[in-house]
């Protein structure tokens, strides 16, 4: 059995979903489910993979970092399928391999994502392209590859991990990132309209600040320093987002959660990244 660390009793969240998600992760059962999690080598994706395995699911994990992915798969007795979500051919092969190893898929959790904070005038357009390639097109590529397997399953689910930045623009330096997350929200709605008549549930999970390493790979800048500091000071542990995802996946087949928005009580909802004063 996989040990998933619980968050401290002091942590709290403002959530738009049911209080039924508030119990211990060990009380949620996904026994018999076959779950593919992207972005699983760290952060929210890793926490979801660990929690799903603890809940009894068979789990496949997809990410770029082979060493971390392999170690996680060994720890949770899961399946590692390494791929960069911007490489669509590799994604198709990885999803097919995951479905083959798990003997099908009935849930997909799209958790791969990056951020590139910065003002419009100061940002290399290549950063915008990478944001959309990973956060939007990568999500579409994985979902498209998984659909035949999901639609062959009983009560399948797709959970897209978006952001509170998909619900509002929190500051001028987060505009491009927010645009990708608005797109994730829109695509979730479109996928739900397309696929819910075929029995596939689609949910968008929108976290606020979460204590992950999402800022670690960013170039040095005042915005990166602000982001890293606020994630460390105000962010929820990734296990709280994993709890939300498992709550959604464990609901009866006749119940669809359209959106689950959750943020730290301590988070200031505006002025996400302020321009440095001159």
Which of the residues are catalytic? Answer: 177
Task: For the chain, report the end-to-end CA distance as a whole number of angstroms.
Answer: 54
Tell me the three state secondary structure of residue 73. Answer: helix
Q: Are 51 and 27 in contact (CB under 8 A)?
A: no
Q: Are 4 and 24 in contact (CB under 8 A)?
A: no
Q: Are 118 and 221 in contact (CB under 8 A)?
A: yes
Radius of gyration in angstroms for the set of CA atoms belonging to the chain, rounded to a whole number: 18
What's the distance, CA 211 to chain centroid?
13
CA distance 88 to 98: 15
Give 258's strand partners.
none
CA distance 67 to 64: 9
């Amino acid at each position: 059995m996989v040990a998933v660390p619980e968050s401290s009793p002091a942590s709290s969240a403002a959530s738009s979903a049911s209080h039924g998600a508030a119990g211990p992760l060990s009380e949620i059962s996904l026994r018999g489910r076959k779950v593919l999690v992207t972005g699983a080598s760290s952060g929210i994706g890793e926490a979801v993979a660990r929690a799903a395995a603890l809940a009894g699911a068979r789990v496949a994990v997809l990410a770029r970092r082979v060493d971390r992915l392999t170690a996680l798969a060994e720890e949770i007795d899961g399946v590692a399928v390494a791929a960069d979500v911007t490489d669509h051919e590799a994604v198709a092969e990885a999803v097919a391999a995951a479905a083959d190893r798990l003997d099908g898929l009935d849930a997909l959790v799209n958790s791969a994502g990056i951020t590139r904070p910065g003002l419009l005038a100061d940002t290399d357009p290549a950063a915008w392209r990478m944001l959309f390639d990973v956060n939007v097109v990568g999500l579409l590529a994985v979902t498209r590859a998984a659909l035949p397997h999901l639609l062959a399953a009983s009560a399948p689910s797709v959970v897209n991990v978006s952001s509170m930045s998909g619900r509002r623009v929190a500051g001028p330096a987060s505009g491009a990132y927010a645009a990708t997350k608005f797109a994730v929200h829109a695509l979730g709605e479109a996928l739900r309209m397309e696929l819910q008549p075929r029995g596939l549930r689609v949910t968008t999970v929108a976290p606020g600040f979460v204590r992950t390493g999402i800022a670690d790979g960013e170039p040095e800048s005042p915005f990166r320093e602000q982001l890293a500091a606020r994630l460390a000071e105000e962010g929820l542990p990734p296990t709280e987002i994993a709890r939300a995802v498992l709550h959604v996946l464990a609901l009866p087949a006749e119940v669809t959660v359209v959106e689950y928005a959750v943020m730290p009580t301590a988070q200031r909802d505006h002025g996400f990244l302020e321009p440095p004063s001159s």
